[in-house]
Chain A
Amino acid sequence: MKKIILSALMAAGLAPAAFAAAPEDSKIFTPFFDMTLSEAAFLPSEGNIFSGGNINTQVGLLSKITQADHLFALYNFSYAGQGFAPQDSKQFTDRSMSHGFNLEYRRFLTDRFRVRPGVAFNTGYSRTGANEAWKNGLYNMNSAGAQLAADYTFDEEKNGYVTAQYLFRSIEFPNYTDLLAEFQSAGSQGNIDGGLNDQVMGQFSLRPNWNKFFGGVTYTVQNYRNQKVVENTGVYGDTKQRDTDTMLDFGFHHSLWIFEMYPMVSYTMHTSNQNFMKYKFLGDTAPEFAADYYNFKEMNLSVPVDLNITSKWAIGGAFNIQRRAYDKRMARNEDNDFTTSKQVNTMTTLTGSIRKRINEVAMVRLFGSFIVASSNTKFERYMPYNYTGNSFGIAYSLSY
């Protein structure tokens, strides 16, 4: 895997050589480089200050083989460090790093209709602290897949087009097993080589776009290869786990004098046939069974606003609210017992930032944000649910 990464990086590295040192500015190749790096300090209401950063490097190349055939290649390195995250997603200290390769071929079949088949490879590492090795992370992931998309332009003046896409990914977690489930009910998973969460993901989406309005509906199906559904006896039966997810989103981009707004709203419905057996500790002989533990409905609203004061300076602000309501999962109280009300998580973020353009390609941004997370689950030993936090950080970005 590393060799592939290395040779791909070298190839990407030599790509600019193919056309650069400009004397003839190449008509065939267009490069793209984007490096964004940000580092912030986080102060939660409970717990000590910690710092986390994000690095995102993208290197891409567009080759115009003919006027109607374009080939896109993209390499993406992204690192997400510690930070505040919505409830039920990750702990503060979780970090992850991923390498991605994407290749897409675009062909204009007619003036208005375009097809885009593509392939994608991604390998991701994750770990919960700086003292674990990336190699052994339990949630390390490899994925390979392909997609086919088609765009149809129905209104050229107002940039109106609709995109239909089908995406397919085969995802593997080579290190992940769950021996705890094995110990709680012997013979259940029988799998020690990893790969308990291996799955195949298929996603279909339809996204129209018109005059700076955009929206879409996305339907995703995840079929797990090894993970089975747990029954109320604690034994993992024969049915394999299957998740589906439907998402609707809508947004627009609006400029009014020096203000620019990009509000967006999305609504997600997630269902899974997996249940959950709650063991409070190893050796718990009275576990509690929760059926349909992972079904939820989530709503997400974000309104970023930018104020372009001068061509160099801009002030921005954003308001973001995310609310997830579980269909059947009950909230837990402090003693890790289920209560009788369904779990609802809410997270609100208020961000302010100042952005300065260093030149046309580079910019620096100072940002601060205030987060309020609340939930009716009070069992917070392993994952944070209720807290408020502040974060302050700086971000550099260079994009050509």
Chain B
Amino acid sequence: MRNHILAFIIFIALPAGVFAGEAKILSLSGAVEVRPTREGQWTSASKDMEIAEGGGVRTGADGGVVVQLPNKTKVWLKESTALEIEQRQTLASRLALVFGRIKVRVPHLMRKEKFEVRTPAAICAVRGTEFTMGTTEDGKMDLKVLFGEVKFKFNVPPAKGKAEFSIPQGQGLETREDGKPAAPALLTAKAEREAMENWNPGLKPDERQKGLIQKENDRAQIKDYAKTTASAENAVKNFLNVVKESDLEAGRTLKDVHGNTVRVDQRMMRPAADEIQFFNLVKRPSYANYTASSDGFAYNGGAVANRLDYMQMTMNFNQDLPQRIEEWPSFFNGNSVNADWASFVLANRTKADEIFFIAQGYEYDAARDELVNNTNVVNYGTLVDRNVIITGVLKDEAGVSAITGLGRITSLDIQDAGTLDGQLKYGDGTNVNGGSSDVIWAVMTNDAVGYSRPTDRPDNAPLAQYQADMYDIGAQGTGFLWFAKENYVIGNGGQIRTAGDFTNSSSDPFSLLKDNALETVMSVKKSVGNNSALITTSDLAKADIDTEDMFSYNGGAAGVGTNIDIVFIPDLMVAAVQRMLPAISNLSE
């Protein structure tokens, strides 16, 4: 009665279909007998026969049967096996394997439900498990756990070794006859395969592994598919031609501080065996006219389309460098290499036949053992040991195109023309200013104070700097010009950064480099007063900087020139420094 009420309540409380009454035979083959109740008789089994609690099932020498318990547990019995259903309550089930081999698959159980399988020697508690178990009547048993975990306990603690084990999937336990303690061991491939094969009754031996073999074939097929796909993708990649004509390359598209879209390409190349060339090319499809800030310098060039600017650094060594950059570290280490000369050229090359440029050269001074920028660069008679710049607008001249001329200036193939006005001659004697070009050299003054803003910067002020220095044309003291620079640290969207963006970003410095760039706008302006001695403060310097440019450009009137607007990305510097660190550190020694 109580059982009935209990069963009724449980039947209502649980989702329908979970409990279907008693254990049931799903399928069978060969000689199978069932004892439906505890006190019943052994009768021949048939499909869908029910076995109550206390009942049992056994197979003969060629029999096999699958029993399903109400909690969806499936038990497969092989031949010569006897199984008793000792307990089958809602929250506790226990099977007893008298002898033979069974495979049990227990699905997930309810929270407090217990499921145990007992053999003469031990008892196993399981939850959500699949395992096989074999035993003989005198207690020799063999347990293989396939999925889940089995808590195993000897009924009689053995003389040696532990009495309880928790056996996870992939392991098995065999009781041994030689007196050694039983311990779980990893399943071998063969044992696992035998346990995993199809235990359904009525199958011939070679049919049992059919499912496994089919799975293996499927795996082989998908493995093949993976292989052919990978090789197809590789083939696609192999077709993408790469012709490398430079050592290092980097590029980025971003917006500059004036809002123009900019594309920056950086390369490092080696024009000759003893020369390195690093350049930063900048292209803007459109360069809008802008009004400079009060601290900055006027721009007179107007709106321009397809604007090209570049910065180039060339360094020439006294020995040929090894062809491959990988050999440089040991080369610099082993030899006394020094640079012969170096030059920095910044140019606005929007028109190939009219180039506005600013160049600085450095020559090796053996006495000081370093590269020095002074009037020796232009081979001026009297040595003035201050910075020299060469600047102006180069146009196509007879026999020397603007590009060729700039190339010569880059190689420092120039000398003072001797006309006492800062004019230059090429190394072969022809005048640089053949009739259309306007190129001069100037040396930094030693008495005028340069202009620099801002003077002091509070925390988190934008990283923008304006500065200008006064230069003496031809070192004569009669004509002066101002070399003006605006420097900004900008992000990819053109916004000016602050120091706080770098120090308080809580993201790694490496990512910061990817998102930032340096922009510098350079121009050469006239001096209003043309007297360096009067410039004693930064404010006086700003007042002396004319809004008119020194050199006119693109057919503009006198004073209507242009600027050089370079965006410099750090991408390549990091890679170059890392590659050439041994070389650089040696050079500085």
Contact = CB atoms under 8 A, between A and B. Distances in A.
Direct contact of A and B (CB under 8 A): yes
Contact of B324 (A179, A278, A380): A380
A183 B349 CA distance: 8
A280 B285 CA distance: 26
Interface in B182-240: 189, 196, 211, 215, 218-219, 221-223, 225-226, 229-230, 232-233, 235-240
Interface string B240-269: 111111111111110000000101010101
B304 interface: no
A328 interface: no
A245 B324 contact: no
Interface in A258-296: 272, 276, 278-285, 294
A384 to B, nearest CB: 6
A74 interface: yes
Q: Which residue, A220, A279, A381, has most C-beta atoms of chain B within 10 A?
A: A381
B349 to A, nearest CB: 7
A273 B243 CA distance: 15
Contact of A132 (B241, B310, B571): B571
B251 A30 contact: no
A294 to B, nearest CB: 6
A89 interface: yes
Contacts of B130: 22-23
Interface residues of B, number: 83
A294 B322 CA distance: 27
A96 B215 CA distance: 35
A230 to B, nearest CB: 12
B219 A21 contact: no
Contacts of A192: 253, 261, 263, 283, 285
26 contacts: A23-B147, A25-B215, A30-B222, A58-B226, A72-B225, A74-B229, A98-B237, A124-B237, A128-B249, A129-B575, A131-B575, A131-B578, A138-B251, A180-B246, A180-B267, A183-B308, A190-B306, A192-B283, A197-B240, A201-B236, A243-B239, A272-B241, A279-B245, A294-B241, A379-B323, A380-B323
Interface in B276-329: 277, 279, 281, 283, 285, 306, 308, 310, 312, 322-327, 329
Contacts, number: 215
Contact of B281 (A62, A124, A179, A285): A179
B543 interface: no
A132 B250 contact: yes
Q: Which residue, B230, B267, B352, has most C-beta atoms of chain A within 10 A?
A: B230
A138 B250 contact: yes
A129 B239 contact: no
B8 interface: no
Nearest to B329: A48
Given A30-B219, A186-B352, A89 B242 contact: yes
B239 to A, nearest CB: 6
Given A32-B226, A34-B223, A285 B401 contact: yes
B330 interface: yes
Contacts of A130: 578
Nearest to A134: B514
A136 B324 contact: no
Contact of A283 (B222, B265, B322, B410): B410
Ordered nearest first, which 8 A-B pairs have the shortest CB separation?
A: A47-B326, A281-B271, A192-B263, A179-B265, A30-B218, A32-B222, A131-B574, A133-B514
A69 B270 CA distance: 59
Contacts of A22: 130, 146-147
A281 B269 contact: yes
Contacts of A171: 236, 240
Contact of B326 (A34, A44, A283): A44
Interface of A: 21-23, 25, 27, 30, 32, 34, 44, 46-48, 56, 58, 60-62, 64, 72, 74, 76, 78, 88-92, 96, 98, 100, 102, 104, 120, 122, 124, 128-133, 135-136, 138-139, 141, 143, 147, 167, 169, 171, 175-180, 182-183, 186-187, 190, 192-194, 197, 201, 203, 218, 220, 222, 243, 245, 272, 276, 278-285, 294, 334-335, 359-360, 379-384, 399-400
Contacts of A133: 510-511, 513-514, 571
B407 interface: yes
Q: Which residue, A30, A220, A245, A279, has most C-beta atoms of chain B within 10 A?
A: A30
Q: Is the interface of B mostly helix, strand, loop or mixed?
A: mixed
Interface string B317-358: 000001111110110000000000000000001001000000
Nearest to A32: B222
A248 to B, nearest CB: 14
B223 A399 contact: yes
Interface string B495-512: 000000000000000110
B572 to A, nearest CB: 8
Given A62-B218, A183-B281, A141 B251 contact: no
Contacts of A218: 235
B430 to A, nearest CB: 16
A60 B218 CA distance: 11
Contact of A382 (B147, B246, B403, B513): B246
Contact of A74 (B226, B250, B326): B226
A132 B575 contact: yes
Given A22-B130, A283-B407, A360-B189, A335 B226 contact: no
B105 interface: yes
Contact of A383 (B230, B244, B250, B403): B244
Given A23-B107, A133-B511, A139 B242 contact: yes
A145 to B, nearest CB: 8
Interface string B104-148: 010100000000000000000000101000000000000000110
B308 A74 contact: no
A46 B327 contact: yes
B247 A201 contact: no
B579 interface: yes
Contacts of A138: 249-251
A245 B238 CA distance: 11
B403 A285 contact: yes
Nearest to A137: B250
Nearest to A359: B189
Interface string B402-416: 011011001000000
A111 B407 CA distance: 73
A85 B308 CA distance: 36
A194 B571 CA distance: 17
A124 B189 CA distance: 39
A107 B128 CA distance: 37
B534 interface: no
Contacts of B235: 203, 218
Contact of A48 (B236, B247, B326, B352): B326
Contacts of B283: 179, 182, 192
Contacts of B579: 129
Contacts of B261: 192
A47 B324 contact: yes
B229 to A, nearest CB: 5
Contacts of B578: 129-131
A243 B236 CA distance: 13
B10 interface: no
Contact of B230 (A76, A90, A96, A104): A76
B326 A132 contact: no
Contacts of B308: 182-183, 186
